[in-house]
Amino acid sequence: MFKENCSYISAVLVLTCVLGVPAAEAQGTGCYTLESLQGSFGIIGTYGSNIAVALGTRTNDAAGNLTGTFVLNSPTVGSATGARTVASGTNKGTFTVNCDGTGVVTRIATLADGTTAPAFDDFVITGAVVQNGKLIATTIEDAQRVPSTLIPGGLFLTRKYTRRPNSQTAGCYTLESLQGSYGVVVNYDSNLAMGLQPEYLDGLGNLRRTGINNQPLTGSTTGERTIGNVTSAGTYVVNCNGSGTITRVVTRADGSKATTADDFLILEGVEQDGKIIATTIFDAQQGPAVVGAGTAFVTRIHTLHPNHSAALEAQLQLSVCGTAAPTPSCTTSVSVWNYYLVNQIDPKAPAFYLGNGTQSMGVQQYLLARAAAGL
């Protein structure tokens, strides 16, 4: 199943690959070098006890130079309603690495308003694979030596890095990178409340998410909790570097609604049929909680589920396109997909209606759109 070069896939899978090695066991395979850190990483920075987060991308070269971008989500100073401030910035600097996988990053962070903050970060490689005889870092953790100067309060800043597919060979992330069925875990503040919600992303920029939220019961002095159903429906956009924004309408258990937005970052992905498919996504809500939990800060992890529609996809693709995976699906209208599904494969399948039926899409997008519509 795995080739000798171990593709960059989910960190859990990478570490269980026969050639995968934890950093602590790397001594028998030689030293870590600057080349071990070469490539593209997704980074989540945590300030204090989840008071603020930074969603960042980082590109390292083989000479020890780094560049990156980030979105910083922090409490709005002086707000009594849980309002948050979202700012963007860049990182530029250098890194050194020791034989044992420890090292130091020296960098300057610059916000869009021109504010700069020099910093030093100590890191350790926590996961790696052997590729072409060299140790390649897949996961890294670091700690900033001084309190953050970009957010008031003297907060301690730590980061987790996850290797992503090489953008030079895999190309840009697109709407199609976010397609499929995901499990979403929602965290409020530092484990104050939790949401557990299945989600469908259709590869066209539409999402639907339905599940439960487990919240503290308002006014309880004994730790009682309340469970309620919540639904989100909306759209998403994605940038070439795997960052993006979700805009959605939330329907609470009592039927009331709220509109909110989330900044996200693709942390892990796989190359599939000429595209990068996101397997792990992290997001941070731009404003405070809109479902219970008062003014809590909300973050989420989205994890891709296995594709349970693979057999149906293969049948439809062969019927309509005359091709089979891994050849990419052809694109045709919703009406054509409906015709072949109902008339040649499953007469009991209900037709899927989207506008006037002329919107063009591939077989995966068609089946995901059906799933998102509850079919």
Q: What is the pLDDT of residues 52-72, one digit of tens each?
A: 999 999 999 999 999 999 999
Do 195 and 279 lie in one domain? The reply is yes
CATH of the domain at 233: 2.40.160
Do 145 and 109 lie in one domain? The reply is yes
The answer to whether residue 6 sits within a structural domain is no
CA–CA separation, 246 vs 237, rounded Å?
A: 7
In DSSP terms, 53 is beta-bridged to 46, 73
Q: Does pLDDT of 3 surpass 70? A: no
For residue 247, what are the domain limits? Answer: 175-304
Domain's final residue, options 140, 163, 186: 163
Do 180 and 155 lie in one domain? The reply is no
Do 212 and 286 lie in one domain? The reply is yes
- Ranges of beta strands (E only) in the chain are 20-21, 39-47, 52-60, 65-75, 84-97, 102-111, 116-131, 134-144, 157-163, 179-188, 193-202, 206-216, 225-238, 243-251, 257-272, 275-285, 298-304, 332-333, 360-361
In single-letter form, the type of residue at position 314 comes to: A
Do 27 and 120 lie in one domain? The reply is yes
Q: Does pLDDT of 23 surpass 60? A: no
Do 45 and 154 lie in one domain? The reply is yes
226 pLDDT band, cuts 50/70/90, is very high
Taking all residues of the chain, what is their mean pLDDT, rounded to a whole number? 88
Tokens of 366: 């068609």
Give the pLDDT of residue 169: 64
The answer to whether residue 34 sits within a structural domain is yes
CA–CA separation, 20 vs 1, rounded Å?
A: 14
Instruction: Note the pLDDT tens digit of each residue in 134-169.
Output: 999 999 999 999 999 999 999 999 999 999 987 666
The answer to whether residue 169 sits within a structural domain is no
201 or 22: which leads in pLDDT: 201
The answer to whether residue 196 sits within a structural domain is yes
CATH of the domain at 73: 2.40.128
The answer to whether residue 2 sits within a structural domain is no
The answer to whether residue 1 sits within a structural domain is no
Q: Which of 83-97, 269-283, 316-330 is predicted with the least confidence, judged by mean pLDDT?
A: 316-330
Q: Does pLDDT of 7 surpass 90? A: no
Query: In three state form, how does the secondary structure of 84-142 look?
Result: EEEEEEEEEEEEEECCCCEEEEEEEEEECCCCEEEEEEEEEEEEEEEECCEEEEEEEEE
Do 277 and 327 lie in one domain? The reply is no
CA–CA separation, 330 vs 343, rounded Å?
A: 19
From the list 91, 93, 106, the residue with the least C-alpha distance to 150 is 91
Tokens of 84: 């948050």
The answer to whether residue 183 sits within a structural domain is yes
Do 127 and 32 lie in one domain? The reply is yes
Do 23 and 100 lie in one domain? The reply is yes
Phi, psi of 45 (to 5 degrees): -100, 130
> What is the tally of structural domains in the chain?
3
Q: Which of 80-84, 160-164, 367-371 is predicted with the least confidence, judged by mean pLDDT?
A: 367-371
The answer to whether residue 4 sits within a structural domain is no
88 or 307: which leads in pLDDT: 88
From the list 56, 58, 48, 60, the residue with the least C-alpha distance to 72 is 56
Do 218 and 323 lie in one domain? The reply is no
Domain's final residue, options 249, 273, 304: 304
Do 141 and 229 lie in one domain? The reply is no
- Quote the percentage of the chain above a pLDDT of 90: 62
Domain's final residue, options 163, 197, 213: 163
Do 55 and 159 lie in one domain? The reply is yes
